[in-house]
Amino acid sequence: MKSKSNKGATTAALTLLITSGMLASALGIRQVNDENSVTAWVVNKNMSAGQTVTVHDVEQKSIDPSNYSNIALSVQNPRALIGQKLATNKMVEQPLFDTDFIRAKSQNLSEAIPAGRVLYTLKLNTLDIPLSRIHKGDRLDIVAKTNRLVRTVARDVQLIGVSKGPKSQAAKSGVMDNLAKESNSAAGGVSLVLAVLPKDVYSLAGIDNADKVSIIVHSAYDIEQGRLQNFSRLQTSRTIEVVKGVKNEAVYVAK
């Protein structure tokens, strides 16, 4: 009787050991797969060349990079996908690349301006956001700071393009020449070509050279959902008029 009991206990122990090993192996394989996978935008159904991509046709999925050697070149901005026409057939869960879309024909400048907006060029001495990270179609807010007064100059501005400042033409290798080249580049600044609402033109034109201008970029995901983040303006100063002889001068005083 005791022998049968020991045999049953041994069998149960072996079964538990084998099951634990299988679970550990499965979890290990899953963890390795998760670490090696990358996230990319893919089509969620079979699509034919000539079809227009809509928000219901794409989704984010984890992809094994070993299946696509150029997965790093896939389109990461979902706004760049919506409304584009496919140049090739795409199978379900295949990632999307720039080469998968029909190239749009060049258009006149006036045709690039959305309806109800006008074109405005805002020149900045410096731009904190890297130029490589902002693209046509991005939605921006423009904020300016004068002394201690911060004001919203324009909201829901659409970026049309970016124009860099003039580059140094002479290719010199001296230390002083390199410093001069950097100085010229900084002096050239950056010009943002913007599609703005008509009511914002004069406030944008009122930006002074001494003002500190900041660019606020809205999330592409919020734009796809039809909403923009709204921030309330906190009044941190008040204006006091000071009379000096026959002249009046406005002074900003912190609360």
Provide mean pLDDT across the span 133-161: 85
Q: Write the pLDDT tens digit of every residue in 160-169.
A: 888 776 554 4
Q: Are 217 and 194 in contact (CB under 8 A)?
A: no
Separation in Å, CA 51 to CA 17, 45, 68, 75, 83: 54, 12, 23, 17, 9
Q: Are 194 and 140 in contact (CB under 8 A)?
A: yes
| Model confidence band, residue 238 (pLDDT cutoffs 50, 70, 90) | low
| Model confidence band, residue 188 (pLDDT cutoffs 50, 70, 90) | low
Tokens 């001495």 correspond to 125
DSSP string, 144-160: EEETTEEEEEEEEEEEE
Residue 47 CB coordination number (10 Å): 21
**Hey, what are 73's tokens?**
């070149």
Provide mean pLDDT across the span 49-56: 89
Spatial separation of the C-alpha atoms in residues 158 and 115, rounded to whole Å: 12
Predicted model pTM: 0.45
Spatial separation of the C-alpha atoms in residues 49 and 47, rounded to whole Å: 7
Rounded mean pLDDT of the chain?
Answer: 74
So where are the chain's domains?
Answer: 1-36, 38-100, 111-254
User: Domain 38-100 classified CATH 3.90.1210.10?
Assistant: yes
Q: Are 124 and 207 in contact (CB under 8 A)?
A: no
Spatial separation of the C-alpha atoms in residues 93 and 59, rounded to whole Å: 9
State the greatest distance between any 2 C-alpha atoms of the chain, in Å, as a whole number.
117
